[in-house]
Amino acid sequence: MSRRSAWLTVWAIALAALAAAGIGGCKSSPPEEDPNAEPTGPYAEIDRLLPRLLAMPPWKFDGRAQHYADVTRVAADPTGLVDVAASDVGAADAALFQECGYKMSVARKYKQPDSPQTLVVAIHEMNDGDAAFAAYSVVAQGKPLSGNWLAGKQFDTVGVAGAAGAPAVANASKIVFVKGRYIVTVDHRGATVPGVKPVADLVAQNIFSGALKPALVRDLPTGHMVPGSELFVTGRLAMDRIKGQLGPAGELLTPAVLGSGQMAVATYEADGRMNTIFAIRYASAGAEAAEATLKGALATAAAPLANSIAFQAVGNTHLVGTLTPEEESVQQVLGDLIANLGG
């Protein structure tokens, strides 16, 4: 080897070592994200619902947005989707989402300069508004299986701007609301609701959808209804989840009674007493069969349980009832409900 070739070889090795150590050249780093650029790519539609930084100073991005979906879509999509069961949603609620009709989620973290405060905005897209309200009502308005949703929550006290009529619940540092086909959580760890409400407002204003509840829920009488007590059940997992909230008689409302129907439940308060009303709607027929199933269950039930539920079919498409039949005040509510259903 010539002297010139030997020196060239030495210099090449030295430069390679310097580059590996990050010395003598610019160390490569991921390109900085434009905080106000229009979202692009396969998830642009849901990413556009996230709040822009210009509207929420002094918050800054803390890493990139993370996208989630069910395991089937994750396996078929090479773009970095993560199983939603591994997110803050948790495995049990992820399964409930999928039963209701789930598409995907996006979650984004934000931070403030020179501050330990963090903010997390998560948006969960469902198939339609009914699916979104069904999942929301069970995991947010109902009793969650874990602390991933809300603890110490208050119903309908938030008034999220841009989501007029959309249900919302909150605790000391977190807001959850549903609008259109989206369930949204805004979590400011260690802060209070006034600190996160402006961010929730921004997301709600980005969702150009109506805030109507499912038709069967809207059929429930509103007089004396406890705000935020409505539950909308469309499958076995949800049915099993809510039974414990309905008292002993709730155990009689089994998946066999629900069948392929949809169930709306709400709590009413009159004279200091709480009454529970339910209505099940079947696609074409099934109410009479469900009524027979319930009667069969009652025939073998203990007397106190048998006395804690009353029900009747309305045509062959609806089954309505109460879990507090001894209360006189519930009879008027039931009458109003039957009238709303055309009975």
Instruction: Give all strands of the β-sheet with 231-233 in edge-to-edge order.
Output: 231-233, 262-270, 273-281, 318-322, 310-314
Last residue of a domain, one of 185, 206, 227: 206
More confident residue, 343 or 48: 48
> 222 in a domain, yes or no?
yes
pLDDT on residue 22: 46
Specify if 14 maps to a domain. Answer: no
The percent helix, strand, coil of the chain (3-state, each to 5) is 35, 20, 40
Mean pLDDT of 45-66: 88
Question: Is 109 found in the same domain as 77?
Answer: yes
Q: What is the rounded average pLDDT of the residues 306-321? A: 84
Q: Quick check: is 78 in a domain?
A: yes
Q: Are residues 199 and 228 located together in one domain of the fold?
A: no
Highest mean pLDDT among 5-14, 72-81, 117-126, 281-290: 117-126
pLDDT of residue 143: 53
pLDDT for 266-282, tens place per residue?
Answer: 888 877 777 888 999 99
Q: In whole angstroms, give the CA distance from residue 210 to residue 337.
A: 24
131: in domain: yes
Percent of the chain with pLDDT over 70: 76
What is the CATH classification number for the domain harbouring 201? 3.40.1000
Residue 20, domain member (yes or no): no
Based on the fold, state whether residues 231 and 146 are members of the same structural domain.
no
Mark whether 172 and 219 lie in a shared domain: no
Token digits of residue 140: 């947010």
| Both tokens assigned to 142 | 């109902």
Domain membership flag for residue 125: yes
| Residue 228 and residue 169 in contact, taking contact as beta carbons nearer than 8 Å | yes
183 pLDDT tier (thresholds 50, 70, 90): very high
Q: For residue 328, what are the CA distances in angstroms to 125, 265, 305, 307? A: 42, 19, 18, 14
- pTM of the full structure: 0.83
Confidence bin at 85 (pLDDT 50/70/90): confident
Same domain, 199 and 335: no
202 and 97 within one domain: yes
Whether residue 254 is found in the same domain as residue 336 = yes
Task: For residues 196 and 235, state if they share a domain.
Answer: no
Which of these, 220, 219, 233, lies nearest to 262 by C-alpha position? 233
Whether residue 52 is found in the same domain as residue 106: yes
Q: Which residue has the higher pLDDT, 87 or 182?
A: 182
Count of structural domains within the chain: 2
The set of residues, in sequence order, having a beta carbon less than 8 Å from that of 229 and lying 6+ positions away, is 141, 155, 265, 266, 267
DSSP state of 294: H
CB 197 within 8 A of CB 187: no
Instruction: Pick the last residue of a domain from 155, 184, 206.
Output: 206
Q: How many CB atoms lie within 10 A of CB 289?
A: 16
Domain limit, last residue, from 173, 206, 239: 206
The more confidently predicted of residues 3 and 65 is 65
Q: Establish if 26 belongs to a structural domain.
A: no
Q: What pLDDT is stored for residue 174 in this prediction?
A: 80
Which of these, 212, 201, 214, lies nearest to 49 by C-alpha position? 201
Question: Has residue 140 been placed in a domain?
Answer: yes
Which residue range is the domain that position 229 belongs to? Answer: 215-340
**Cα-Cα-Cα-Cα dihedral sign, residues 303, 304, 310, 316:** negative
- Pairing between β-strand 182-188 and β-strand 82-83 as defined by DSSP bridges: unpaired
Whether 194 and 89 map to the same domain: the answer is yes
- The secondary structure of 220-232, three-state, reads CCCCCECCCCCEE
- Helix boundaries (H) for the chain: 3-21, 44-47, 71-76, 91-100, 129-136, 193-206, 215-219, 236-243, 255-258, 287-299, 303-306, 329-340
Shared domain check, 286 and 162: no
Which comes out higher in pLDDT, residue 47 or 294?
A: 47
